[in-house]
Amino acid sequence: MGRGPSIEGRKNAEDAKRAKVFTKLIREITVATRAGAADPAANPRLRAAVDKALSANMTKDTIERAIKRGSGADGAGDEIRYEGYGPGGVALIIDCFTDNQTRTVADVRAVLNKNGGNLGTSNSVAFQFTRCGELVFATGGDAAKEEKVLEAALEAGADDVVNENGESTVVCAPENFESVQQGLLDAGLTAEHAGVTMRPNNRVAVSAENVEALQTLLDKLDALDDVSEVSHNALLPADAAH
């Protein structure tokens, strides 16, 4: 009889996955700190990043070190955005945080080239996206739940609510993200995931032969240490809402 993965092996895999998540969260906190104040109370973007880190069980000491790193003049790194295309002409925005732009662009280009994509020029696809706040709720197609999200979102000052594939996505202006999130929390609604992101103005259907290739590309980009977020305009079967 074959033996499955050992407990130690599973634990090591889980630890590695957790470390990867923490690395990206620390970068997010550092970037948010560099972009604004080091005080979460005065920096909504930082406060959202800290909340996300706490939800992932990151210790306060680790969070404080990330904020300190971001607020110091220690050359911690820079935000940089790359634009490109994936299989089937899907538009990609790849946000990175790096201390070595030469390394990062080489890594991003290599992943794109090896997985049916290519790197574009600045502003080649950005016009197809709008920066906005998003809060996604699992409503399961329940009309009553969708109505509750809609009412709370409009009351909190959201711009729109999109119901697709069992999820209700609340959309708002970036500067209103924190107040909308708080309004929804006050209504007893906790988002599955939330943040300020680049939302596509229109989504494009992906042909069946390109779905797997695109998902592989997105996974490999996300696995790069310097990549903090990848936005795309593809309408994927299991990911149609975001």
- Residue 4, pLDDT score: 57
Residue 125 CA to residue 207 CA, distance in Å, equals: 20
Q: What is the token pair recorded at 108?
A: 């991003």
Residue 196 CA to residue 44 CA, distance in Å, equals: 10
* CATH of 77-242 among 3.40.250.10, 3.30.70.980, 3.30.70.3280, 3.40.640.10: 3.30.70.980
- Residue 154, pLDDT score: 95
- Residue 241, pLDDT score: 38
Average pLDDT, the chain: 87
**Going edge to edge, which strands form the sheet with 167-172?**
160-164, 167-172, 129-138, 193-200
What DSSP element (H or E) covers 136? strand 129-138
> How does pLDDT run across 149-193, given as a tens digit for each residue?
999 999 999 999 999 889 999 999 998 998 999 999 999 998 888
Question: What are the sequence ranges of the domains in the chain?
Answer: 7-71, 77-242
Residue 182 CA to residue 51 CA, distance in Å, equals: 12
- The CA-based diameter of the chain, rounded to the nearest angstrom, is 59
Residues 231, 92: contact at Cβ < 8 Å?
yes
pLDDT band at 242; cut points 50, 70, 90:
very low
- Residue 240, pLDDT score: 38
> How does pLDDT run across 93-108, given as a tens digit for each residue?
999 988 789 999 999 9
> How does pLDDT run across 112-148, given as a tens digit for each residue?
999 999 999 999 999 999 999 999 999 998 999 999 9
Burial of residue 87 (number of CB atoms within 10 Å: 0-12, 13-18, 19+) = buried
pTM score, whole prediction: 0.73
Fold adopted by 7-71 = Arc Repressor Mutant, subunit A (1.10.10)
pLDDT band at 19; cut points 50, 70, 90:
confident
Residues 76, 69: contact at Cβ < 8 Å?
yes
